[in-house]
């Protein structure tokens, strides 16, 4: 009765088994090994024109409407952290992926994988948190699914959220649209989410508690699009892998260079200090309430003003520009004037940060 023809296992695994006989944590870290999985295995296997766009989500034409469609699974540890939890994070994360396609989020789905033995009260906290985040954003969770796995085969709760959004006419956001002369902005200080989570894991203490920046960016993005429209070329939320990984992906896809000014990148002192203690480069640390906005030069000041006027953009800054030199690569001018390459991360910096 089964309509499947057997899978053709004669095709060779496109990841060299001698180098990578098994999946490593770094394959999920957002760095070079994640890229390898996507580029060598997933893209060729699932080959289709939409997937080729390599966006934070797919852009689909359905009955004349341009829809954004994006999925994300959340496996963060611990489930509850300063400033948020896996529930609100899962809602914000997918709302943000839709916003990064230039879309107004419309609907969310939620798929929960629970581990046997999870305290029922913890599930209730997570569900309330999802609901709160969805309600504040005005985007309903309209369909869901729950599975339970045996003790020791999961880790409390994993959540998949998938979202559907509508892209307004005249908006065309894509990493390929970055071009020399464009300006790179960010809406605030980097590395906050990653360091808030790491501070719990590592037992670090700060004078003031460091809270995750987890937030839904779709309202801020809508204002940016309202004022700059077509001149907004790229939107990207620098989550796992941080600002460095996101900009490297954009540089590669646009085949343009990106030049950052170290002194212009907003970072809080306690975050810088925590990164130094743990030996982490903040450029590679995850954000959950930040977006990179790449706009035509003539729109940059207006976009900066709109961002700073928004509660989630008060520390917004211009941090770099798209350049003709060294296409596909990211460079940074240091505080003392030297230049350094900002490369893709090779290994795994912060596992299970989202």
Site for a copy of itself in 44-63 (CB under 8 A): 45-46, 48, 50-51, 55, 57-58, 60, 62-63
Query: Smallest distance, Å, CB 327 to a copy of itself?
Result: 26
The answer to whether residue 178 forms part of the interface with a copy of itself (CB under 8 A) is: no
Query: Smallest distance, Å, CB 178 to a copy of itself?
Result: 21
d(CA 185, CA 181): 13
Of the candidates 37, 125, 38, 56, the residue with the CA atom closest to the CA atom of residue 89: 125
Interface segment toward a copy of itself; rule CB under 8 A; list 38-46, 172-180, 199-207, 326-334: 38-46
Backbone angles phi, psi at 218, to 5 degrees: -65, -30
Q: Which is nearer to a copy of itself, 174 or 212 (CB)?
A: 212
Query: Smallest distance, Å, CB 242 to a copy of itself?
Result: 16
d(CA 80, CA 99): 25
Query: Exposed (0-12), middle (13-18) or buried (19+): which is 201, by Cβ within 10 Å?
Result: middle
Q: Which is nearer to a copy of itself, 207 or 336 (CB)?
A: 207
Q: Which is nearer to a copy of itself, 41 or 263 (CB)?
A: 41
Q: Which is nearer to a copy of itself, 64 or 337 (CB)?
A: 64
Of the candidates 18, 41, 15, 35, the residue with the CA atom closest to the CA atom of residue 248: 35
Site for a copy of itself in 289-308 (CB under 8 A): 289
Judged by CB under 8 A, the residue of 31, 90, 136, 346 near a copy of itself is 136
Judged by CB under 8 A, the residue of 170, 203, 279, 311 near a copy of itself is 311
Site for a copy of itself in 61-80 (CB under 8 A): 62-65, 67, 69-75, 77
The answer to whether residue 11 forms part of the interface with a copy of itself (CB under 8 A) is: yes
Q: What is the DSSP letter of 73?
A: E
Q: Which is nearer to a copy of itself, 134 or 285 (CB)?
A: 134
Strand order in the sheet with 292-295: 232-236, 292-295, 183-186, 317-323, 257-261, 330-333, 339-341
The answer to whether residue 170 forms part of the interface with a copy of itself (CB under 8 A) is: no
Interface segment toward a copy of itself; rule CB under 8 A; list 37-45, 249-257, 294-302, 329-337: 37-45
Contacts 24+ apart (CB under 8 A), 204-208: 204/274, 204/277, 204/278, 206/270, 206/274, 207/270, 208/270
Distances (CA, A) of 173 to 68, 263, 325: 11, 28, 23
Site for a copy of itself in 180-199 (CB under 8 A): 188-189, 192
Q: Which is nearer to a copy of itself, 141 or 342 (CB)?
A: 141
Site for a copy of itself in 225-284 (CB under 8 A): none
Do residues 221 and 99 touch, judged by C-beta distance below 8 A? yes
d(CA 82, CA 213): 10
Binding-site size for a copy of itself (CB under 8 A) equals 115
First to last CA, the chain: 41
The answer to whether residue 112 forms part of the interface with a copy of itself (CB under 8 A) is: yes
Judged by CB under 8 A, the residue of 99, 103, 134, 267 near a copy of itself is 134
DSSP string, 276-287: HHHT--GGGS--
The answer to whether residue 169 forms part of the interface with a copy of itself (CB under 8 A) is: no
Do residues 142 and 110 touch, judged by C-beta distance below 8 A? no
Q: Which is nearer to a copy of itself, 41 or 305 (CB)?
A: 41
The answer to whether residue 35 forms part of the interface with a copy of itself (CB under 8 A) is: no
Query: Smallest distance, Å, CB 42 to a copy of itself?
Result: 6
């Amino acid at each position: 009765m089964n309509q499947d023809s057997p899978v053709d296992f004669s095709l060779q695994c496109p990841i060299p088994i001698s180098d990578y006989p098994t999946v490593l944590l770094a394959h999920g870290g957002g760095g070079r090994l994640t890229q390898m999985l996507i580029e060598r295995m997933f893209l060729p296997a699932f080959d289709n024109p939409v997937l080729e766009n390599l966006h934070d989500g797919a852009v689909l034409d359905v009955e004349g409407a341009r829809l954004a469609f994006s999925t994300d699974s959340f496996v963060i540890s611990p489930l509850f952290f300063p400033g948020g939890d896996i529930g609100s994070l899962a809602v914000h994360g997918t709302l943000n992926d839709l916003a990064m396609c230039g879309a107004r989020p419309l609907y969310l789905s939620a798929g929960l994988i629970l581990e046997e033995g999870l305290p029922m009260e913890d599930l209730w906290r997570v569900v309330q948190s999802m609901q709160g985040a969805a309600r504040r954003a005005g985007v309903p969770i309209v369909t869901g699914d729950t599975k339970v796995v045996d003790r020791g085969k999961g880790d409390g709760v994993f959540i998949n959220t998938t979202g559907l959004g509508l892209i307004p006419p005249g908006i065309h956001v894509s990493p390929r649209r970055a071009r020399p002369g464009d300006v790179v902005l960010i809406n605030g200080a980097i590395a906050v989410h990653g360091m808030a989570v790491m501070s719990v894991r590592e037992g670090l203490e700060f004078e003031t508690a460091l809270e995750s920046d987890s937030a839904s960016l779709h309202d801020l993005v809508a204002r940016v699009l309202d004022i700059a429209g077509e001149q907004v070329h790229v939107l990207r939320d620098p989550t796992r892998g941080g600002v460095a990984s996101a900009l490297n992906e954009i540089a590669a896809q646009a085949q343009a260079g990106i030049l950052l000014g170290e002194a212009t990148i907003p970072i809080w002192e306690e975050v810088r200090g925590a990164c130094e203690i743990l030996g982490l480069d903040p450029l590679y640390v995850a954000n959950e309430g930040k977006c990179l906005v790449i706009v035509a030069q003539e729109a940059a000041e207006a976009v900066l003003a709109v961002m700073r006027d928004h509660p989630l953009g008060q520390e917004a800054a211009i941090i770099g520009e798209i350049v003709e030199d060294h296409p596909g690569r990211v460079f940074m001018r240091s505080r003392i004037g030297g230049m350094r390459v900002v490369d893709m991360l090779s290994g795994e910096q912060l596992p299970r940060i989202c």
